[in-house]
Structure 1
Amino acid sequence: MARTIDEVLAEARERLERLDPAQAHAETLGGAVLVDIRPAAQRADEGEVPGALIVERNVLEWRFDPASDARLPQATGHGLRVIVLCSEGYTSSLAAASLRDLGLTRATDVAGGFRAWRAAGLPTTGAGTTTIADPGVAEGA
């Protein structure tokens, strides 16, 4: 029953209608919640998206489960539009699929992540130098 991470990722993405950065930006202007799950060190190195809600990956499900005592005020219900952002769009796909498992049926992610967002010329702050990732490791996972 063992599966590779590539198989798990492909399965997660089959369940999502992923957004390109421009689509994600437009949806955030319309009220969707953009959630940056990158660790603090990555945000410091790469920069941030103004207005994005920072929720590191290790607590994401507890913060968005409407039934959780640890939920955020933004976690108003299962119909909330949550758009997850990571560095390159790998971890965010897994995270968005996990939110869907909790019943947040409108959760999705940004294809290409923060790097694609910045490359599209969308608003960012504090953009430092981007570290080139080890080709054998996706997003420092």
Structure 2
Amino acid sequence: MRHDAHAVNSLQVQPAPGYAGDISGTLAWRWVQSGEAVLVDVRSDAERAWVGFVPDAPAVAWKQWPGMVNNPNFDAELLAAVAAGKKVALLCRSGVRSIAAAKRATELGLEAYNILEGFEGDPDSHAQRGHLGGWRLRGLPWRQS
């Protein structure tokens, strides 16, 4: 079981080392709707195009396809996407890459949170995502191209 499994439906911030904390997608969406936070999607362009995306969420890839190489413009793009005084909630595929992005955002001076489960959640017993949690499964807003 994941370390964060107890918190996926919580409306509380879970402590985390190196950044402001882990939050559920539900809490992230509440913060976005209230204007407290900006949700930034750190998945690759390919992931957003093929799997889906959160409408109006800035896209700032942590790593890019092909090869999943680090985005050399991550710092500048992230700082441009988050207005002063706003929290940033970071979303990736499963809530793992967004931890690294949250740590970097914190180093840049932002109040950064990792969204637990990510967009697709963990793989199930058939190695398929989308059945064990994630932004989409939880019924939060998303679209496909």
- What TM-score, normalized to structure 2? 0.67
Q: SS at the partner of 2:28?
A: helix
Aligned equivalent of 2:74: 60
Aligned equivalent of 1:107: 112
**Number of aligned positions between the proteins:** 107
Distance 1:26 1:34 in 2: 11
Structure 1 residue runs of 5 or longer lacking an equivalent are 1-12, 66-71, 128-141
Q: Is the 8 A contact 1:35 1:55 kept in 2?
A: yes
Q: Is the 8 A contact 1:80 1:107 kept in 2?
A: no
Q: Is the 8 A contact 2:38 2:88 kept in 1?
A: yes
The structure-2 alpha-carbon separation of the partners of 1:27 and 1:75, relative to structure 1 and needing over 3 Å to count, comes to: closer
- Structure 1 residues 81-120: aligned runs within 5 Å: 81-104=87-110, 106-115=111-120, 116-120=134-138
Which structure has more strand as a fraction of its residues? 2
Distance 1:44 1:75 in 2: 22
Distance 1:64 1:93 in 2: 14
Q: CA RMSD in A?
A: 1.9
Aligned equivalent of 1:121: 139
Aligned equivalent of 1:14: 17
- What TM-score, normalized to structure 1? 0.69
Deviation at 1:45, TM superposition (A): 1.8
Which structure has more helix as a fraction of its residues? 1
Flag the structure with more relative contact order, 1 or 2, with Cα contacts below 8 A and sequence separation at least 6.
Answer: 1
Quick check: 91-100 or 55-64, which moved more? Answer: 55-64
Structure 2 residue runs of 5 or longer lacking an equivalent are 1-15, 63-70, 121-133
Distance 2:25 2:92 in 1: 12
